Chain A
Amino acid sequence: MKKFIFNIKKYNKYAIRSAKAELKSEVADSYLNWLWWIIEPFCFMLIYVFVFGVVFKNNTPFFASFVFIGLACWDFFNRMVSGSVKLIINNRDLVTKVYIPKYILLISKSYTYLFKMGIALVITFGLMIFQGVTFSWHIVLLIPILIVLYIVSLGIGLLLMNYGVTINDLGNLTNIVLRMVFYLSGVFYNINERNLSPTLKYYFLRVNPIAFIMNEMRRILIFNQLPNFKWLGIWLVIGLLLVVIGIHTIHKNENSYAKVI
């Protein structure tokens, strides 16, 4: 753990710079340039709102804001998890030529994803104002919820990154699991309003961290309720545990990655 903190201090600046470089290069050649960072999430959200709000007729209040919050949260988690599996292999040049603590690669990626989530949230806030959602002080609670989201995603990402090096088809497996989690998380429907038995609902909203986090975000932002602090705490502890295990396995294996890829 000491090594981890030392490495973070040493390489964090690189991680930030590399994240900035990545963002810049993503839009470097396009006509609309950085506008894509706004247009893209906005359009995706509109599609979901249209399909599930108009075509499937959904009566959830403030449905557009509801979907936007869910999607911002989901996109971050999805990018972290699916991006981490092939991360080492995609950075072959780097990994075989210099020593760098491998989790720095993921942390650097996470900064770009955080940036994108930030934009998505700003768009969401704009929409909430437009729809006339009343804001309350509960909005402050978004910060601890986002921290839990980050830590859980990072923990899962670190572990997948480690095993993705040696297990070729882990990517296929995570894709399937991610798809399942996506539909079960209620990005575009409200789990609370479905005709499910109360026990099933209870577990749907707690065992799946993303469904839980999404639901909490909506509660504080749209419905002005307090989050479920007990389960936030539980997921924070699980997330931290995953991060510690992930860092430990990476420290143990990282010097062998270069031999495998």
Chain B
Amino acid sequence: MKNKEKNTAISVKNLHITYRGLKKTSIRASWTKLKNKVEVFEALKGVSFDVEEGKILGIIGKNGSGKSTLLRAIAGIFSPDKGSIDLHNHTISLLSIGVGFNKKLTGRENIYLSGMLLGFSEEEIKAKEKEIIKFADIGDFINKPVKTYSSGMYSKLAFAITAILETDIMLIDEVLSVGDTRFKEKSYNKMKELISDDKRTVIIVSHSLGTIVELCNEVLWLNDGKVIEIGDPKEVVEHYNKYMNENG
């Protein structure tokens, strides 16, 4: 059933991304190889899709099919070589763990650093600081340097920052399992709560097909930089499994 009044949150049109444009080189190499052929790797070959506001889109595909590239392109880290991505003025964040952390500083200071990097103002973070600390649940360690943290505590804090500071569109790249069992459950529930918000659009990349079927409204199957299928989660995952068994 298509509802025309629903707003589109993300439109991706004929997206091409190639790893070529800038190649790492040395001064010597650029003299000798001035006109040599450059290796071209096309990570995405003409991907188009729309995501409606409030929808949850899962992206599946084997390793190297361009899933992470697609997410990064949507987040604005890569620019498209061809085609366009329109976010219709929504704020966006790529849920990634521990961006911009300074390990010698305390957890509390890192909340601000990381949060501001994600595009939030100091006041917004201040308002949510308590909530983040409460959710991260690492006790007095919040006032100790991050380098003294265990890896579990580190991810707990990092997850709390990105989960509590909300944006209109969230991009999630395989981060559903951090910390111990208790925190895993808590973060999974928080994630569910976050993405089931009517206003929030979410794109999840995961290899855990069970999670995808459970959480998503729609699934996009990417193979070798092309969209194979997009549609109902159960159907797409079924086709995907069949394909993987035949070609695996």
CB neighbours (8 Å) of B99 from chain A are: 93-94, 97-98
Scan residues 84-130 of chain A and give those whose CB is less than 8 A from a CB of chain B: 93-100
A24 adjacent to chain B (CB < 8 Å): yes
A29 adjacent to chain B (CB < 8 Å): yes
CB neighbours (8 Å) of A18 from chain B are: 100, 113, 116
Complex interface bits, A198-219 against B, C-beta within 8 A gives 1, otherwise 0: 0000000000000000000000
Taken together as a complex, chains A and B put the C-alpha atoms of A28 and B103 apart, in Å, by: 11
- Are A97 and B104 neighbours in the complex by a CB distance under 8 Å? no
- Are B78 and A255 neighbours in the complex by a CB distance under 8 Å? yes
Question: From residue A212, how far is it (CB to closest CB) to chain B in Å?
Answer: 28
Given A28-B145, A167-B26, the answer on whether A256 and B78 have CB atoms closer than 8 Å is yes
Taken together as a complex, chains A and B put the C-alpha atoms of A179 and B121 apart, in Å, by: 41
Binds A, one of B69-77, B149-157, B239-247: B69-77
Best-buried of A13, A95, A97, A256 by chain B (most CB within 10 Å)? A97
Which of the four size classes fits the interface of chain B?
A: 35 or more
Give the A-B contact count at a CB cut-off of 8 A: 94
Scan residues 1-45 of chain A and give those whose CB is less than 8 A from a CB of chain B: 10, 13-14, 17-18, 21-22, 24-25, 28-29
Question: From residue A106, how far is it (CB to closest CB) to chain B in Å?
Answer: 15
- Are A259 and B78 neighbours in the complex by a CB distance under 8 Å? yes
Best-buried of A22, A28, A97, A259 by chain B (most CB within 10 Å)? A259
- Are A13 and B122 neighbours in the complex by a CB distance under 8 Å? yes
Binds A, one of B17-25, B52-60, B187-195, B198-206: B17-25
Given A93-B99, A167-B26, the answer on whether A258 and B78 have CB atoms closer than 8 Å is yes
Question: From residue A85, how far is it (CB to closest CB) to chain B in Å?
Answer: 13
Given A13-B116, A21-B113, A98-B77, the answer on whether A28 and B104 have CB atoms closer than 8 Å is yes
Complex interface bits, A165-176 against B, C-beta within 8 A gives 1, otherwise 0: 111111001000
Complex interface bits, A223-261 against B, C-beta within 8 A gives 1, otherwise 0: 000000000000000000000000000000101111111
- Are B27 and A167 neighbours in the complex by a CB distance under 8 Å? yes
Question: From residue A150, how far is it (CB to closest CB) to chain B in Å?
Answer: 23
- Are B21 and A100 neighbours in the complex by a CB distance under 8 Å? no
Taken together as a complex, chains A and B put the C-alpha atoms of A95 and B77 apart, in Å, by: 8
B65 adjacent to chain A (CB < 8 Å): no
Taken together as a complex, chains A and B put the C-alpha atoms of A228 and B105 apart, in Å, by: 45
- Are B76 and A166 neighbours in the complex by a CB distance under 8 Å? no
- Are B100 and A253 neighbours in the complex by a CB distance under 8 Å? no
- Are B77 and A255 neighbours in the complex by a CB distance under 8 Å? yes
- Are B113 and A17 neighbours in the complex by a CB distance under 8 Å? yes
Complex interface bits, B85-125 against A, C-beta within 8 A gives 1, otherwise 0: 00000000110101110111100010011001111011000
CB neighbours (8 Å) of B77 from chain A are: 95-99, 255, 258
Taken together as a complex, chains A and B put the C-alpha atoms of A168 and B93 apart, in Å, by: 31
Which of the residues A10, A17, A93, A260 comes within 8 Å of B23, measured between beta carbons?
A: A260
- Are B25 and A25 neighbours in the complex by a CB distance under 8 Å? no
B79 adjacent to chain A (CB < 8 Å): yes
B30 adjacent to chain A (CB < 8 Å): yes
Which of the residues B25, B103, B118 comes within 8 Å of A167, measured between beta carbons?
A: B25
Taken together as a complex, chains A and B put the C-alpha atoms of A17 and B112 apart, in Å, by: 8
Output the nearest chain B residue to A24 by Cβ-Cβ distance.
Answer: B105
Q: List 30 A-B contacts (CB under 8 A).
A: A10-B119, A13-B116, A17-B122, A18-B116, A21-B105, A22-B102, A24-B105, A24-B109, A25-B102, A25-B104, A25-B105, A28-B105, A93-B98, A94-B99, A96-B77, A97-B99, A98-B93, A98-B96, A98-B100, A98-B117, A99-B76, A167-B27, A169-B27, A170-B27, A173-B27, A255-B77, A255-B78, A256-B78, A257-B22, A261-B24
| A residues at B contact (CB < 8 Å) | 10, 13-14, 17-18, 21-22, 24-25, 28-29, 93-100, 165-170, 173, 253, 255-261
With A167-B25, A255-B76 known, 7 other A-B pairs at CB within 8 A are A13-B121, A17-B112, A21-B105, A25-B102, A94-B99, A168-B25, A260-B23
